[in-house]
Structure 1
Amino acid sequence: MRLQLLSDLHLETEPFEPEPNPAAELLVLGGDIDSRWAALERFAGWPVPVLMVAGNHEFDGRDLDAAWPALRERCDALGITLLERESLVLTDAQGARIRFVATVRWCDFDVFGDAGRAGAMRAAAYYMRIMKSTRRGAPLAPEGVREEALACRAWLAAELARSGAWDRSVALTHFAPSLRSADPRYGAQPGTASFCNGDDELLPLASTWIHGHLHCRHDYLVEHPRGRTRVVCNARGHVRNGEAEGYDAMRLYEV
């Protein structure tokens, strides 16, 4: 299946006009599209189906639990399929059945192991202040993010391990599944645990793993006894930081 992949467009501040690739069979939105949700209108009437996984900034200034039904309603009205802890099987032009297994997969701060968790959660407080989100009537804290993350991971592990009538599985998460996706500008530091999870043991269960969140592009292969998994990220990021330089919004990915 040929898909076009866009993530981290940050259309609440970034001047960017997405255009459809006429050769794509599917558009995947990998999160952090617009914290206001307003620019999601740009994907209404898209010439191919649109799948979306939410990013952390889709919850900026909102209550985490209350935002989900509102975001679903917004996406439904625009013809966008929002997936959260859900799978969807689509058939491509060659008749192959592709299962998309999708969740935000918030960060659990375990990518550096138990010893690094406390430092990672302290570093995450900075990002929580930027989001200004709430949960259960209180500011969203790293502990709340970790609780959501562990629920996401439990679902993801169980769903990826499930067999069924599909030819291959594509994992779709906003947060990265591995430190291999760490932004080379920052490397492995406590704050990196707010961007990358340690889901390397789940990689063999998917033929392709799509993520966003890191404001850099990735396309690499992970070899394992079951074969190989391709990990891709096509995040645009912010012009002011030089992250959008060389961004190819029209690129096609075969999954």
Structure 2
Amino acid sequence: MRVQLLSDLHMETEAFEPEVASEADLLILAGDVDSTWQGLRCFRDWPVPVLFVPGNHEYDGRDFEAAREGLRALSEELGFVLLDNAARVLTDAQGRRVRFVGSTRWSDFDVFGAAERERAMRAAGYFQRVMAATRHGLPFDAAAVREEALACLNWLSSELQAGETSEHWDATVVITHFAPSLRSADPRYGRQPGTASFCNNDEALLPLARLWLHGHLHCQHDYWFEAGTGVPTRVFCNARGHLRKGEPARFQPKQTIEVFAPRPFRT
């Protein structure tokens, strides 16, 4: 099964014309497609199934709960499979079943450890002011983001405990908007408190998936993560970002990733 991955298109300000990858069996949108939601309509009637995991900017200027319901309704209208703390098993032409597990997986600000959490949350204040979202009539601030992040983590952990393979599927692919490891940190900015608004420490969960796809960082990544189990997990990000910053330089809009690609041999 081959998947085409797109994220961080920011079509609210960026000109982008999506193209179908001829080899792809499905398209995955890993968030921050368009904060106005209008760009999502470009993917209506896509020739292969579309899986959509919302990014943080899909909530810009909106009430969190209203936005979540609105994205669910829009996904149904456009024919997308919305993976907002949800999973779906799809079968490829060879009869292999892949479980796709999707969550925005907001920042919990613990990527540098609990001792650095307060500092990271202070740095996050800027990003939350840019979002200008609310929840239950209150600002969707760093504390509210952490609360939602922990709910995402609990759901994701529970879902992945079923195993990377089972009698019901042959492989597991995780899709999150936020990154699962500091290895995905943007090299332009290094490991500073603001990095905790982009990366989580979900490395303990990585071995429970064959492939982990994410967005959010406006750079591209393709690496293997091994936690001593001898079975590495591929982590892949194909975020576009902003042209004015030169971020799409390595973005490959028609690249596909093979779910069942051979894993590196470990002795």
- Could you tell me the TM-score, scaled by structure 2's length? 0.94
CA-to-partner distance for each residue in 1:175-211, whole Å, 9 max, x for gaps? Answer: 0000000000011100000000000000000010000
CA RMSD, aligned part only?
0.8
| Distance apart, 1:247 and its partner CA | 1.7
Question: Which residue number in structure 2 is paired with residue 142 of structure 1?
Answer: 142
Aligned pairs (5 A) from 1:63-142: 63-142=63-142
- The alpha carbon displacement at 1:246 in A equals 3.1
Given candidates 233, 240, 249, the residue that maps to 2:237 is 233
1:177 corresponds to: 180
- The runs of 5 or more residues in structure 1 that have no matched partner are none
Residue 215 (str. 1) matches residue 218 (str. 2) = yes
User: Does the aligned pair in 1 maintain the 2:109–2:120 contact within 8 Å?
Assistant: yes
* Equivalent position SS for 1:22: coil
Question: Which runs of 5 or more residues in structure 2 are unaligned?
Answer: 260-267
Shift of residue 70 of structure 1?
0.8
The one-letter code sitting in structure 1 at the alignment partner of 2:73 is: E
TM-score, normalised to structure 1, is: 0.98
SS in 2 for 1:221: strand
- String of CA shifts for 1:200-240, please: whole Å, max 9, x gaps: 00000001000000000000001231501000000000001
**How much identity, in percent, do the aligned residues show?**
60
How many aligned residue pairs are there? 255
Partner of 1:250: 254
CA displacement, residues 114-146 of structure 1 (integer Å, 9 cap, x when unaligned): 111000000000000100000110111100000
Structure 1: which 4+ aligned runs deviate by more than 3 Å?
A: none
> Matches of residues 11-26 of structure 1 in structure 2 within 5 Å?
11-26=11-26
Task: Assess if the C-alpha contact under 8 Å between 1:219 and 1:230 holds in 2.
Answer: yes
**Superposed counterparts of 1:49-68, under 5 Å:** 49-68=49-68
Are the aligned partners of 2:219 and 2:239 in contact in 1 as well (CA < 8 Å)? yes
Q: Which amino acid aligns with 2:143?
A: E
The aligned amino acid for 1:237 is G
CA distance in 1, matches of 2:94, 2:222: 24
